[in-house]
Amino acid sequence: MSKRGYHHGNLRQALVEAALRLIEVKGPTGFTLSEAAKQAGVTPAAVYRHFEGREDLIAEAARQGFLMFADLMQHAYDKYQPSALAAFEATGRAYLAFARKHPGHYIAMFESGISSNRTPELANAARRAHQILERAADDLSQHIPAERRPPASMFSAHILAMSHGVVELYARNTPGTNSPFPPEDLLETGIGIYLRGLGLIDPD
Res 166: pLDDT: 87
Average pLDDT, rounded, for the chain: 86
> b/e per residue, 134-171, with b = 16+ CB within 10 A?
bbbbbbbbeeeeeeeeeebeebbbbbbebbbebbeebb
pTM given for the model: 0.84
Task: Assign 116 to helix, strand or coil.
Answer: coil
Asked if omega into 103 is within 30° of 0 (cis), the reply is: no
Residue 203's region, left for phi above 0, alpha for psi from -120 to 50, else beta, is: beta
Query: Tens digit of pLDDT for each residue in 78-126?
Result: 999 899 888 888 888 888 899 989 999 999 999 898 999 999 999 999 9
Domain spans, the chain: 1-51, 54-197
Q: Tell me the fold of 1-51.
A: Arc Repressor Mutant, subunit A (1.10.10)
The pLDDT confidence band at residue 185, using thresholds 50, 70 and 90, is confident
pLDDT score recorded for residue 2: 39
pLDDT above 90 covers a percentage of the chain that reads 37
Q: Is the pLDDT of residue 149 over 80?
A: yes
Residue 43 in this model has a pLDDT that exceeds 90: no
Question: At residue 6, does pLDDT exceed 60?
Answer: no
pLDDT in tens, 20-38: 999 999 999 899 889 999 9
Q: Please tell me the distance from the alpha carbon of residue 60 to that of residue 39, in angstroms, as a whole number.
A: 17
Largest CA distance in the chain: 66
Superfamily of domain 54-197: Tetracycline Repressor, domain 2 (1.10.357.10)
In this structure, which amino acid lies at residue 202? D
How far is it, in rounded angstroms, from Cα 179 to Cα 92? 19
- The DSSP secondary-structure symbol of 124 reads H
What's at 27, amino acid-wise? G
